[in-house]
Amino acid sequence: MQLIPTILCGGAGSRLWPVSRELHPKPFIRLNDGVSFLQKAFIRGALLPNVKEILTVTNRELYFKTQDEYKEVNQLGLHTSYILEPFGKNTAAAIASSALYVANNHSPDAVMLILPADHLINNQEVFQRAVEKAVESALAGKLVAFGIQPTSPETGYGYIEVNSEAELDHILYGFVEKPSKDIAEAYLASGRYLWNSGMFCFTAGSVLEHMKQYCPTILEATKACFDDSVTHHSEQTSQLQLDPASFAKIHDDSFDYAVMEPASLAFLGRSASSSLAVVPCPTTLGWSDIGSWSALGDLSTPDAQGNRVDGPAALHDTKGCYVQSRDRLIGLVGVENLIVVDTPDALLVVDKSRAQDVKHLYATLKADGHDTHKLHRTVHRPWGTYTVLEEGFRFKIKRIEVKPGACLSLQMHHHRSEHWIVVSGMASVTNGNIQQLITTNQSTYIPAGNKHRLENPGLVTLVMIEVQSGEYLGEDDIIRFEDNYGRIQETA
């Protein structure tokens, strides 16, 4: 039996803005232990028996960032495979493409374990026992959902209605979207509803058969896209870049709506035998999807006044607040039940009772085209990072870090010139027809219109300051001629 954990890494995490951004979504948020949601999902799957490969479905813009996350925690040296989407298409397309990949590269009988990248599970032993039960049902041809025993009338989660007459064969009756408070209380009292965890287990062949029956247009469009796409293999990793034109033709729908819900309705109408099962997971699993700042704050230990603090803060006559800051000191006086989250370029202050409404703020910023919905001041690139230190009229100052052995693209800018000053390490610089090495405390000047390239030939990280000047300093003023990361004809 082959078990292939399949991590779905997408979404904006809009309710966790300003730490979560479009190109730094919720799975990449680091928790108090220094480990990100995504890394925890990887470790969770890697520790299961019979796992030799982790498959991840993510946006192609997040590929190198995801690779870096995995390298930090892949202690077992597992093979990592990636399906790279050009843009989001919801979970039905993601699961269809991953099932096609597994069936083609392994076997239709291989068991897939679908894991959202942005959830927490605190008890690996309980998780493994639940997976073992799910695998047993999956090998019998069923699509298995993981339900969580509810402890409160939570309105931020979806629910699963189950038949619990047979302890070892829970039948899934139906899915319910996030309910009102009154309905959630009724669900809790009935004992027939579980929280929908978003985790699933099935064989690749079984889920493809179900998709053929219940959402054939999604499956056919995904197959066409799959056939138009190219897979690259290496010893340690594989990547399938989905063709953008074909991918755009796939209908946007969730796996719950496209497959699980119609399959449950078919069973209730007795037009089919039940092909769906549920593994009820106890509260000892320690599951949470951390869907708001209020939930994330609850991971911290409160003080005597119920305040939870992550970072430098000074509080006076303050109760029930959550404060997160990485750099600046946050001072609060005479306030209650506030969430305060500080980042270098954005500050969030919200009443705890309105934590779910942060998503509306994110939507407004995105509609207005404000950079803070998409990027942090520190931006990750395949070769390293850059941090915007200051910008103003006709100038921008960046701190650039280049990984050992990495290089930027051979490129040119129409509207800006650049001054490079090496702070530490060594830079190999192509500047027009000149090739030179620049070491600590040395600098060079790149005029607008010059082809240029920056490379780190050393064994330590190259750190440098870049001062841009010109009439236009946008990241889209770039023409790439050569690139090691397949980004030619794309903006930075």
322-343 pLDDT, tens per residue? 999 988 999 999 999 999 999 9
Q: Place 129 in a pLDDT band, splitting at 50, 70 and 90.
A: very high
Per-residue confidence band for 490, with pLDDT thresholds at 50, 70 and 90: very low
Cα dihedral: 20, 18, 325, 34 (round 10)? 0
Cis peptide before 457 (omega within 30 of 0): no
- The Cα 270–Cα 171 span in angstroms is 13
Mean pLDDT of 9-38: 92
Tokens read off for 300: 């911290």
* Segment 172-188 mean pLDDT: 82
Residue 166's pLDDT is 47
pLDDT of 71: 94
Which pair of tokens denotes residue 375?
């990027």
CA 257 to chain centre: 21
pLDDT band at residue 170 using 50, 70 and 90 as cut-offs: low
Could you read off the pLDDT of 401-452 as tens digits, one per residue? 999 999 999 999 999 999 999 999 999 999 999 999 999 999 999 999 999 9
Strand partners of residue 438? 427
**Residue 179: pLDDT band by 50, 70, 90 thresholds?**
confident
> Which whole number is the average pLDDT over 297-320?
96
Q: Report pLDDT for 487.
A: 67
pTM: 0.90
pLDDT of residue 301: 93
Tell me if residue 19 falls in helix, strand or coil: coil
Q: What is the pLDDT of residue 168?
A: 40
For 291-320, letters b (16+ CB in 10 Å) and e give: bbbbbbbebbeeeeeebbbbeebebeebbe
Res 135 pLDDT > 50? yes
Q: Look at residues 231, 254, 215 and name the one whose alpha carbon lies nearest to residue 94.
A: 254
Lowest mean pLDDT among 16-30, 196-210, 213-227, 273-287: 273-287
Phi–psi pair at 268, nearest 5 degrees: -65, -35
CA distance 113 to 131: 8
Residue 261 reports pLDDT greater than 90: no
Of 90-94, 165-169, 187-191, 372-376, which gets the smallest average pLDDT?
165-169
